[in-house]
Amino acid sequence: MSFAKLDKAFYTSSETLWLAKQLLGKVLVTETNGEKTTGKIVETEAYIGPADKASHAYNNRKTDRTKVMFEEGGLSYIYLCYGIHQMFNVVTGRAGIPHAILIRGVEPLEGINVMLGRRKMKEKAYRLTAGPGCLAEAMGLNREHNGLSLTGNVVWIEDRGVVVPEKNILASPRVGIDYAEEYIKKPWRFRIKGSPWTSPAK
DNA sequence: GTGCGGATGAACT
DNA sequence: GTTCATCCGCACT
């Protein structure tokens, strides 16, 4: 049996907050170097358009790095942070409007041994994929995967029929964006309530 | 060309 | 709780 790969129509929705919640419970799949890994998305953060001061594309700032955010939804946006960590984002919305959703936490499903190897860990632990830098490394993603189509065969997201009811979604302020002034408090971080695979609270 | 700092994580005290 | 690793992107000159 095969699962439904999310298609272009899903990603091009302009309802970024709705999309960020829809992604909870969906399954992120990567197939890099012939090794397949999958993980259920348990935590996301929305970065909404040119008005969002927390976004790299605030005030329509368009550079070599951020230009992929201005593309039509359905692409990956992966960048290096602090010189060390890769961040995996999903570009959403229509062309010309820089919306993106950062995937902050997944629950490992398949290919756990591969993930352990990439993270140089011996045993399964929550820190395997809890946090944006961790999960990108575990899933084998790096800057070379920036701008890839999420409807291709390297990285994509599947709907395996998991529905997360609204009451099990926890909305809270985003993390690590203390420079974003009035946008610091926007509750645009979404988690599945009770999941131990979400990133550590700060 | 140069300098500064970051959508973090891990290892400390 | 604090510190630091580590390098690219960005805003200047």
Q: Dump pLDDT digits (tens) for A141-186.
A: 999 999 999 999 999 999 999 999 999 999 999 999 989 999 999 9
Nearest residue for C7, CA–C1': A83
Question: A148 near A155, Cβ under 8 Å?
Answer: yes
Question: A58 near A52, Cβ under 8 Å?
Answer: yes
Footprint of strand B on the protein (CB under 7 A): A 45, 47, 54-57, 69, 77, 80-85, 87, 89, 100, 102, 119, 127, 130-134, 174-177, 179, 199-200
Burial of A12 (0-12, 13-18, 19+ CB in 10 A): middle
**pLDDT at residue A202 tops 60:** no
Distance, CA of A145 to C1' of C6, in Å = 21
Condensed to tens digits (0 to 9), the pLDDT of residues A66-117 reads 999 999 999 999 999 999 999 999 999 999 999 999 999 999 999 999 999 9
Distance, CA of A143 to C1' of C4, in Å = 23
pLDDT confidence band for A3 (50 / 70 / 90): confident
Specify the length of chain A in residues.
Answer: 202
- Local structure of A175: helix, strand or coil: coil
Nearest residue for C8, CA–C1': A83
Q: Measured CA to C1', what is the nucleotide nearest A77?
A: B7
CA distances from residue A1 to A4, A42, A200 in whole angstroms, order as listed: 10, 24, 35
Distance, CA of A95 to C1' of B1, in Å = 34
Please, which positions of strand B sit below 7 A from a protein CB?
5-10
Please, which positions of strand C sit below 7 A from a protein CB?
5-11
